[in-house]
Amino acid sequence: MYNNENDLDDDNESYIPTELKVVVIGVSGVGKTSLCVRYVHDEFQDFSPTIGASFLQKIVSIGNCPLCLQIWDTAGQERFRAMTPLYYRNAKAAIVVFDATDDHTFIQAKRCLQDLKKHVPEDIVISICANKIDILKNSKGGSSSPAQIDQKLQDAIDFAKQYKAAFFQTSAKDNIGVNEIFQDVARRLLKMHMKENERQLMMAKRRKNSESNPYYIERQNSLERVRLNSVKEYDRVGCC
């Protein structure tokens, strides 16, 4: 129903929740903090590994709808692994990050996503992010041949498809694809939220209609008659 951003240009403020929680997950060193900070503050610097999690907020506009993204940057170090699911609570979207130059982090991204799915509702918005593509571009693939790089990207795309997720290649360092991934998340969250509102509105309308519908009234009366008769029957027979 909402095929492009223009469809979201109506006055939709009434649909918008105040904050939408987005969790950013993936193993240590893939660039989660760098992506979040690049997106929110447009900066790139070296960070010490995240402890537990930290969060940043950013207001984004989709069409003329403002949305507040509450971005949770989780710790990727193994010692925090048991803690990460605590941050999944009420998350509406997840960005699973891996390092495009490190196959091991892709395998771990799959594990992270499977783990996430055990803790969140089915309709969570998921994105897969291959970060550090600047290294691939600058070194022309390093030890990997172009065919091998293409194959890796194809594997990531297939993986994303399997989970109905969007796939993005990013570089927090060179600011490639960073706005795009968060903007896409915001757009999909807004669509989902509007669909849910429409569904609830339709249900409310149906309920309202049913109250003035003769068939519904007859059903109500008939139920009431059954209820009264059963009470009468109960009175007549008595108890014990």
- Positions in the binding site for ligand GTP (CB under 6 A): 26, 28-34, 46-47, 49-50, 75-77, 131-132, 134-135, 171-173
Query: Residue 24 or 60: which CB sits closer to ligand GTP?
Result: 24
In the complex, minimum distance from the CB of residue 52 to ligand GTP, in angstroms, rounded to a whole number: 10
In the complex, minimum distance from the CB of residue 156 to ligand GTP, in angstroms, rounded to a whole number: 15
Distance of CA 78 to CAs 99, 111, 206, Å?
Answer: 16, 13, 51
Query: Residue 25 or 190: which CB sits closer to ligand GTP?
Result: 25
Query: Residue 30 or 60: which CB sits closer to ligand GTP?
Result: 30
Query: Residue 67 or 76: which CB sits closer to ligand GTP?
Result: 76
In the complex, minimum distance from the CB of residue 137 to ligand GTP, in angstroms, rounded to a whole number: 10
Provide Rg for the chain, Cα atoms. Answer: 25
| Contacts with 38 (C-beta within 8 Å, 6 or more apart), sequence order | 44, 172, 175, 178
Query: Residue 20 or 131: which CB sits closer to ligand GTP?
Result: 131
In the complex, minimum distance from the CB of residue 134 to ligand GTP, in angstroms, rounded to a whole number: 5
In the complex, minimum distance from the CB of residue 29 to ligand GTP, in angstroms, rounded to a whole number: 4
Q: Are 127 and 186 in contact (CB under 8 A)?
A: no
